[in-house]
Structure 1
Amino acid sequence: MAGRRKVTGHVVIGAAVVLATKSKSERYLYQGAPVIASEFDEDSVKHAISVGLVSEVYDEPTEDQAAADKAVADAKVAAEKKAADEKAAADPKVAEAAAKAASTTPTK
C-alpha cells in the first residue's frame, strides 16, 4: 500500500554536496553517502534536496505488510457485503428486487 511508505533517511545522489552541520561547521559528502539527519542542519538538507543533490529514501513495504494490507482489504469487502445483505434482508422491497434480479440474470 503506497500510503505506508515513509521517508526513512536521505542519501547523496549528486557527485558531492557540502552540508552545514548542527555544530555550525561544514561537511563534504560524496555520492552514495547516507545523510544522518541528527548531524546536519535541517535547512541545509532541505536546500540540497531542492537542488537535486540529496534524495529522500523511502521504506519498502515488507511481505508481511502486503499480506496485512490484503487481509484488511478483504475484511472490509466482506463487512460491506454483509452489511448490504443484512440491509436487503431487513427491507422486503430490497430483498424482493434482489431476488427478481437474480432470477432474471442470464446464465451462460
Structure 2
Amino acid sequence: VEFNVLKEYFSKNTWLYSNKGQVGHMMGASCLIELVLGAEAMTLDVIPGNAGLVEPFDDTHFSFTYDAKKYFKYNKLMKTSFGFGGRSSAVSVSKYEK
C-alpha cells in the first residue's frame, strides 16, 4: 500500500533507499535515526545502499541503490515512516544555502 502511495506522488526515477536493513527495526526511533543518517548522506552527496536488497518487487518506477552507495548531488530529502496501526509521518529537509 505504501509503495503505491509513493508512486502516486513521486516522479519516475526518484531515488528510494532505506536504512532499516542497516539498523534494524527500532519502532518509534527509526524515523529520527533515518532522518539523521539521510541528512548526513545528503551533505556528502551520497545515496546510501539498501543493505540486503537483492531485487525490488517493482523496479519499473523508482531508482534503487543496492549494497553499494551512489554519489549523486541532491538538495532535498524526504523521510517517510509508515508505522503499525496507521502511525505515519513524513519529514522533508533541504541543504542549507550560505
TM-score by length of 2: 0.23
When you count helix as a share of all residues, which structure comes out higher?
1
TM-score by length of 1: 0.21
Pick the structure with greater CA Rg. 1
